[in-house]
Structure 1
Amino acid sequence: MAPDDSLTLSSPLSTPERKPKSALQRWRMAGLLLPVAFLALMEALVRLHVVPEHLVPAPSTIAEALWQLGGDRLGRHIGASSLRVLAGFLLGTAAGIAFGATMGLSRRLDALFDPSFQALRSIPSLAWVPVLLLWMGIDEAPKITLIAIGAFFPVHLAVVAGIRDVDRKLVELGEVNRLSQTELFMRILLPASLPQIFTGLRTGLSLAWMFMVAAELIAATRGLGYLLSDGRETGRPDLVFGAILLLALLGKLSDTVLKFAENRVLSWRDTRVSNEC
């Protein structure tokens, strides 16, 4: 075999060729256009009377209904729901990280609290509503508490699992270097468990939006959950679907912000996905 010919052969262990960045960008653009195409399809199906308009309004009808609400009124609904989600998510996340870290570091505390937490995690969101209204009234406190409950459990489970799944060799390395418990947590356990923690944060954020709707459906005069309830009671499917679309949009935007933070914080990772263009 000629020396030049050997250069043309690829080894089975050679690094696979990366996909062109432009190709991935086209896929991302297609992902953004997919919901738009779906809305355009629904518009056509409704206008052609293939889909009954009293069941599924046309997207243009939904947009018109939201426009008629007015910017100020619609902005108050969006602002009220967003602030509730933000406050409840921060509260639930703080508690989830605190309890998760404590239980992840202590087998005894995990054995003590885990059965109770797993039982509480199985309670549906609507089951909490009458209890919180009885304890806290009908102001903002029960709504934010309910949202915090929704965000707490995914974050708590992710922190516990993340700490438990840290490679034992890393822990032994810290012990060899005589790190204190605080240094071991801050320099080894926490960074190694951050990928799972961020997964829990994103799951907790989505549940925070869901629990927010449950809270506003019962006791609220503002918010997207209230808009859903008002549309149902007044026979306005355009308002119902408008609120749903706004919830989907806000949920996506908030998850995008959290995903951006994840990519920045975990930029040190050398994983298969991070190496792909």
Structure 2
Amino acid sequence: MADVSVAGFTADKGRRLSVTGLKKALAPWALPIVLLILWELATRTGLVNARLMPAPSTVAVAFWRALVDGSLIYHTLASTQRALIGLVIGGGLGFIIGIANGLWKPAETLLDSTLQMVRNIPHLALIPLVILWFGIGETPKIFLVAIGVFFPIYINTFYGVRTIDPQLVEMASVYGLDRKALIRRIILPGALPSILVGLRYALGFMWLTLIVAETISAPSGIGYMTMNAREFLQTDVMLLGIIVYALLGKGADVATRAIERRVLVWHPAYQTGEGVTQ
């Protein structure tokens, strides 16, 4: 009889945990779902002009049509490839220079002032010059994305290195760690939370830059698909492109948070994956 009671309690607890997990998984999507429902109702009741702002159901039909004919996958892959190449180039340079400037005072003196001046120039304002420099191929789009992601990663890497507790560095020196071991075991792990914050910001700038860059004589990509739809007044496809960009951005943010939980498992704020609050 006791075994039956224990089994029933365990099953009931398992159901409660699964329901709680389902609620937590669906909670971030509650507001978007409500907005989609209101949008659909507003369009169907005539509060919103369906020609200027098609209903979500119409956009869903456009999504299915683009998915079946392969155009959506083709353009999404083209945009993702440009974004990732720009992220690797710009993010890699931002990380390396941020580490160098954070660790080596002469490097900061030589580079940081110039970088701060360049940072305050809107990189999208460089589009006319970038076209003159590189033409209208893939290079200008990747170049703009690289600039867009460089500064968030550089600044956060530099800040993360500079805010390492000096007592930890002193204690590592007392224990006889050489420069290489100090960087690998103390400085990089300590700066990692700030670096990952910079990565999350950089991913937002990455898609924002790409949206604009792909409207410049691009032969493929979500931006091209959207601009092409504008020429034919296909507002459902235009909205589809915007939604795809939003979903790609959300996916990138989710991936970054998963990386945070994995590489910062030693950090108290990331051990539960929920920060300092429960």
What TM-score does the superposition give when structure 2 sets the normalisation length?
0.86
1:121: which partner in 2?
Answer: 119
1:83: which partner in 2?
Answer: 81
2:31: which partner in 1?
Answer: 34
Return the alpha-carbon distance in structure 2 between the equivalents of residues 75 and 156 of structure 1.
32
Return the alpha-carbon distance in structure 2 between the equivalents of residues 211 and 82 of structure 1.
12
- The SS at the match of 2:268 is coil
Choose from 144, 149, 165 the match for 1:146.
144
2:101: which partner in 1?
Answer: 103
Cα shift at 1:264: 0.4
Cα shift at 1:275: 6.4
Return the alpha-carbon distance in structure 2 between the equivalents of residues 196 and 23 of structure 1.
31
Contiguous gaps of at least 5 residues in structure 1: 1-19
Return the alpha-carbon distance in structure 2 between the equivalents of residues 153 and 108 of structure 1.
20
Q: Contact conserved, 1:104 with 1:161, CA < 8 A, in 2?
A: yes
Q: Contact conserved, 1:205 with 1:255, CA < 8 A, in 2?
A: yes
Residue by residue, what CA displacement relative to the aligned partner does 1:42-99 show, whole Å, maximum 9, x if unpaired? Answer: 1111101112223321111112223333441111111100111111111111111100
2:62: which partner in 1?
Answer: 65
Cα shift at 1:107: 2.2
Cα shift at 1:267: 0.7
Contiguous gaps of at least 5 residues in structure 2: 1-15
Task: In structure 2, give the amino acid aligned to 1:47.
Answer: R
Return the alpha-carbon distance in structure 1 between the equivalents of residues 276 and 132 of structure 2.
52
Choose from 34, 53, 56 the match for 1:56.
53
Residue by residue, what CA displacement relative to the aligned partner does 1:92-120 show, whole Å, maximum 9, x if unpaired? Answer: 11111100000011223212212211222
Choose from 19, 42, 45 the match for 2:42.
45
Choose from 230, 234, 237 the match for 1:232.
230
Q: Contact conserved, 1:78 with 1:223, CA < 8 A, in 2?
A: yes
Return the alpha-carbon distance in structure 2 between the equivalents of residues 274 and 213 of structure 1.
32
- The SS at the match of 2:251 is helix
2:154: which partner in 1?
Answer: 156
Return the alpha-carbon distance in structure 2 between the equivalents of residues 24 and 94 of structure 1.
36
**Which runs of structure 1 show a deviation greater than 4 angstroms over 4 or more consecutive aligned residues?**
20-25, 272-277
Task: In structure 2, give the amino acid aligned to 1:212.
Answer: L
After superposition, residues 212-227 of structure 1 pair within 5 angstroms as 212-227=210-225
Identity %: 37
1:254: which partner in 2?
Answer: 252
Count of paired positions: 258
What TM-score does the superposition give when structure 1 sets the normalisation length?
0.86
Give me the CA root mean square deviation. Answer: 2.0
Choose from 128, 131, 136 the match for 2:129.
131
